[in-house]
Chains A and B, each alone.
Chain A
Amino acid sequence: MKKQGFIKVLLFLTTPVFILILVTGCWDYVEIESRGYVLGIAIDKANPSPSKDEYLSKRDMDLMELMEGRQKYAYTIQIPIIPRGLIKPYGGATGGGEATQKRTWDLTVLGHSFFEANREFSTKLDYPPFYEHLKVIVISEEVAREGITESLDMMLRDHEVRRRTRLFVSPQSAKSVLEVVPNIDDYASLYLEKLPHNVHKTSRMSHITDLGQLSQNIHSQVDFGLPRIIATDTEIKSAGTAIFKEGKMVGWLGELDTYHGKWVRDGVEGGILLIESPFAKDELVCLQINTSKVNVRPDIKDDRITMNIKGKSTMTVVEVNNIMQDYAFDSESLDIFGQAAKKKLEDGIKETIKYVQENYGADVFHFNVAIQRYAPSTWDKIKDNWYEIFPTLSVDVNIDIKVLDTGLVK
């Protein structure tokens, strides 16, 4: 009898609820095809310098004076064009449609903030932009130099945008990067997303850097680098690093400097090391990095801080450019290779650190984090004038390299 009472009450309660739901319900129901999947975003300056007019002509950018003053940014979103009946199950032509057909719609809107621009997109798209599949954000150098946080704040705040969205900085206009049609992929955004996975193959490419890491770096107030991206009509190259100091870009690191910087940050996941052969002149030996582990520890003696960069690595000889050369197949010669590699690498690292210290003063090596962790009391003393101390830090590099084998031939 208790049961029946319950059923009555349950019916009494749920019937109006169900009626309400069925009459007004499905608030968030949106068909999958009526969303504008934004795959990539490019952020440029609104009024590009005259030389860049070729990338962003007035025609591309609809000038809409929404707020007083000048528009600050030009936001471009990349939306895939999905042709009608992409999938024809029986006998229809599948595949990516015709090669000449345009695959994406790169839509540019001006605005002060991204959210403003976002609403502005809705005036031009018949379905709302949807950011959960956002793969990549490309920022132009000019925007980056003015400060990256301002233009990206909405991306960090919005729950649709993923923290795994990749970030790139381009010396060109950012839009031109998104507009590239890669030869083996439909969308530049998806291509760009997968490109950084090659860090296992080469270390000249910067880290896989995404929004989450950027937010981490900004919030913990450390300097950081973002990967550089360069594009031509059909090709994209990601190598080198844009260096950021206190949220503003201060300059570029070349490919080799990036490589050395990654050694310091213990970010090397693969790649090669090219050395001159210790046995013969004018001969190059290519070593492949198998494993690497680098630790950075502060060494404090009488208020003098030395950064100890200690590491271990194993490598393999993969290429020697004189095939006739016959090396002794013993551990001694392997050690000699190791010594040569060690010297080359340590010199390179030192040089890069010096270069960054002198030219940028940006602590992209996260020396401050190391001091904070391993010498917290020293850090408390020096943290207020860190940027004065950083360029004067002395560095001690010691990376132990073992060459394990020489491939299939001696």
Chain B
Amino acid sequence: MDSRNFFRRKGSASKIKIHLNRNKSDEIEPLSLSLKDNLNKLKTTFEHCEDLVYRKVSSKKSNVDFLLVYFGEMIEKNTLNNNILKYLIHDIDGFSKRKSYEYSKFIKASLPVSNIEEVTDYNSIIGPLLSGDIILFTEDCYCALIIPAKTSDERSIAPSATERTIRGPQDAFVENINKNIHLIRKRIQDPNLAVEFFTLGHSTNTNIALLYIKGIAKNDIINKIRLKISTIDSSSILASAQLEQLIESHKWSLFPQTLATDRPDKLSRSLLEGRAVIIVNGTPFALIAPVTFAMFFNSSDDYFERTIVTSTIRIVRYICFISSIFLPALYLAMTSYHPGMLPTPLALYITGARVGLPFPSLVELVFMQFTTEVLIEASVRLPKAIGQTVGIVGGLVIGQSVVQAGLVNPLIVIVVSLTALATFILPVYTFALSTRILRAIMIIAAATFGLYGIVIAGLFILIHMSSIESFGIRYLEDFSPYSLSKLKDTLIKAPHQYINRAPEYLNEKNNDEV
């Protein structure tokens, strides 16, 4: 089945429904037989839309009048000229043989354009018109035709900028939802791959697609997601990030409960594991749900490299995650609370570095942490050319001169920069962001209670992580309850033949057996 077909039918249907809801008029408003009436009506509806084109043409051979209405920039000019106007004006013959109410059916059969729809209701033409279709009215006919002719002048498929791989496929999602679905369908040629469309946002009318594989994904989970999406009542959805916030259940949590990615291979893998993918028109980032904690440590490259290497890198990532949260706090606790826990030469060394510095370690640490945050933010936002300058300014000027000025202990510079590096090793940016906040919490805890504070704050975070769930799946499902099969693609990555099965907790079949 062609995805476009699928999309057209369902999409327009739901669109009309929502459109009707918005106008609060449930009754059907029939179209007028006269072109003039229809034209006037449209002109009142779209009063200030100067980009709306009303074009009157008439068939040369049969002398029938047509009215074409469309937004000029949104349609494909070729389709309009070659497939619609040419046929209407020159080629179609035989109107005289037919009754006027049969015209629209006749045109529908004659035009070389697919998926033409016939409507009689005035309200149902507004949605398609807005989304870039051409509406064709015919004199003396109570039916209007919706002719799909959306332009497709969008950027072409390019490699992912946020998640680069070395051996993986070099294509990434674009803004267009159809292209994105196409990228997935290319990979999973399975009739069980279900695509459900929704239209959300009163003003934006954003197309959203929910993808999952029937028979693999658990029905409960899909129902939960479907329910969440369909109950959204929001006026605008411009990007997947907004949808993410609308559908997740723990809004105040630091941990993301869906995973945004623009890599079709990653999305396909998630689909095959039994997860659902939500694609939002207008954003290259699709959402994976439900997610578990361990997924944020998987990079696409993991699946293209050798097992032992990958497993080692995975473990390095976990260590980095832990150290990016705990390292500055541990430094503070160890030096200011429990210097007895450091080996004697190290304790004396740090003391030597600290002697004569004016500020307490806490102030130094907070200052350096703040500086790093500023540098990171600056280098992310700035254009590439200036971004490098920021790195030099930050690394050399601040790092070096702050130490030389005798303001900050060089060890703090080491700790803070190591922490920042450890944060960058995490493959998912959203997740890396939350470690920054966690780190700040840890520093406060360490400053007040030392090692005890760190452990207690760590426990709080752990409790929080165990309590949150993503669409019925616990965040830490990968680690609890214990199961050896879960370890195959979490802490380590087993060779491919061992991990091609979907995880138990996501698998519909497994659930049935029990």
Contacts and interface: CB of A to CB of B under 8 A. Distances in A.
Q: Do chains A and B touch in the complex (CB under 8 A)?
A: yes
B340 A130 contact: yes
Interface string B46-63: 000000000000000000
B114 interface: no
B403 interface: yes
Interface centre among A25, A85, A87, A160 (most CB of B within 10 A): A87
Contacts of A37: 339, 344, 347-348, 351
Interface residues of A, number: 28
Contacts of B356: 84-85
Given A26-B448, A87-B410, A32 B351 contact: yes
Nearest to B335: A32
B354 interface: yes
B354 A31 contact: yes
B340 A31 contact: no
A160 B341 CA distance: 11
B339 A32 contact: yes
Interface in A127-163: 130, 132-133, 135, 160
B349 A87 contact: yes
A39 interface: yes
A135 B447 CA distance: 28
B403 A80 contact: no
A135 B347 CA distance: 13
Nearest to A187: B348
Contacts of A32: 335-336, 339, 347, 350-351, 354, 361
A145 to B, nearest CB: 31
B339 A132 contact: yes
B344 A133 contact: yes
A132 B355 contact: no
Interface centre among B341, B349, B350, B354 (most CB of A within 10 A): B354
Interface in B391-417: 400, 403-404, 406, 410
A12 interface: no
Contacts of B406: 85
B122 interface: no
Nearest to B357: A33
A84 B352 CA distance: 7
A253 B374 CA distance: 68
Interface of A is mostly: loop
A82 B357 CA distance: 13
A21 B344 contact: no
B337 interface: yes
B437 interface: no
B247 to A, nearest CB: 17
A89 B403 contact: yes
B450 interface: yes
A35 B341 CA distance: 14
Nearest to B356: A84
Interface in A5-41: 21-22, 25-26, 28-33, 35, 37, 39
A190 B357 CA distance: 26
A133 B345 CA distance: 10
A106 to B, nearest CB: 17
Interface in B339-387: 339-341, 344-345, 347-357, 360-362
Contacts of A133: 339-340, 344, 347
A85 B355 contact: yes
Contacts of A84: 355-356
A90 B404 contact: yes
11 contacts: A30-B336, A31-B336, A32-B361, A33-B357, A82-B351, A82-B355, A83-B355, A84-B356, A86-B352, A87-B410, A190-B344
Given A35-B339, A80-B348, A132-B341, 20 more contacts: A22-B448, A28-B450, A29-B336, A29-B337, A29-B447, A32-B339, A32-B347, A32-B351, A33-B354, A33-B357, A37-B339, A82-B348, A82-B355, A83-B352, A84-B355, A85-B355, A85-B356, A89-B403, A130-B339, A190-B344
Q: Which 6 A-B pairs have the closest CB atoms?
A: A132-B340, A86-B352, A33-B354, A32-B335, A84-B356, A25-B448
